[in-house]
Amino acid sequence: MEVVAYGVLADEEPLLREAFDTAFAGRHELRCLGMFLDRDTAPTAAGDEVVLSSVNDTLDAEVLRSLAKGGTRMIAQRSTGYNNVDLDTARELGLTVARVSYYSPYSVAEFAWALALAVNRRIVRAAHRTREFDFRLDGLMGRDLRGRTAGVVGTGKIGTAFARIAHGFGMRLLGWDIAEDPDCLALGMEYVPRERLFAEADLVSLHVPLLPATYHLVDTEALALMKDDAILINSSRGGLVDTDALLETLRAGRLTGVGLDVYEEEAGVFFLDKSLEVMTDERLARLTTFSNVLVTSHQAYFTRDAVGQIARTTVANVEDYLAGRSGDNVLVTPGTP
């Protein structure tokens, strides 16, 4: 049997192949494709029972019907998030859909802090200057984080790891989530209403999944509550932030810094080389013009530890499917209501 994987990055492929070969030892073949899965590329999966998808693949009703028509019976998503998969249509078609429910939370938490420190201390601007032998310090002044307030929006595994690092900096901790985490409480975190968190935090970091209830969680009202010199970090999902509202806030000269590893319209842009093309997404182009904004290309998870764990879990999900087993990573199975 051949398994096809879409949106495979160059540094990811060796780890994915290693996990696949270890599990199946030549009994099955893996075809890795760099292109993303969408309505145009779905026919290339014809004859493949199992498809390994990436977070920026499009698995809407049209794509899923095309895959099912070509013989696909299982979708293994190589990420925790699955908002790009139409689960209702997958259920209707009798497909099995699984995801990676857990991987190293430290990869994302540490990168979120890298963004926070970079925008606070103007690291990118400083590096650009020194490459041109401009060693002035004008405009590079940051501030100590010790004694200031970190607002952690979402205190799951990643949010908790972020909070531990904030505690290490000596920061006061505010949290917002549907349930209080014992580990965060042990760090001295105070759980407060969302509005109070936005109003009091010097640094706000987002660590909640993208759901209808969290779409544009950071909107005009939330941004208006934030301090003029606050820092906003998003390493979770782009749709959590209303980009238009953020642009208006930045145009008004508010917020000390913004670090974005995700963007709500990143599909078809992130992970690709667009350097020789005209950037037609005016909002993304505008974001990158602000000197206090740092945008990276959804790389927070991208460590050898995390990607290796994602690869092994994805392959284990395929093993379970072929053996007729179901586990905590399965989102949809044939016959589920």
Catalytic residues: 237, 266, 298
Strands 293-295 and 257-260, how do they pair?
parallel
Cβ partners under 8 Å of residue 163, min gap 6: 150, 152, 155, 173, 175, 184, 187, 189
Residue of 337, 267, 322, 263 whose CA lies nearest to 98:
322
Rounded-to-integer distance, Cα 329 and Cα 316, Å: 10
3-state percent helix, strand, coil for the chain, nearest multiple of 5: 35, 15, 45
3-state SS class at 202: coil
Structure tokens that stand for 272 in this block: 């690709």
DSSP 8-class letter at 226 = S
Identify whether the C-beta of residue 104 lies closer than 8 Å to the C-beta of residue 305: yes
Identify whether the C-beta of residue 296 lies closer than 8 Å to the C-beta of residue 65: no
Structure tokens that stand for 141 in this block: 């002044």
Residue of 173, 145, 165 whose CA lies nearest to 231:
145
Radius of gyration, CA atoms only, the chain: 21
CA distances from 295 to 255, 257, 273 (A): 15, 11, 15
Instruction: Please report which helix (H) or strand (E) contains residue 93, including its range.
Output: helix 87-93
Identify whether the C-beta of residue 237 lies closer than 8 Å to the C-beta of residue 261: no
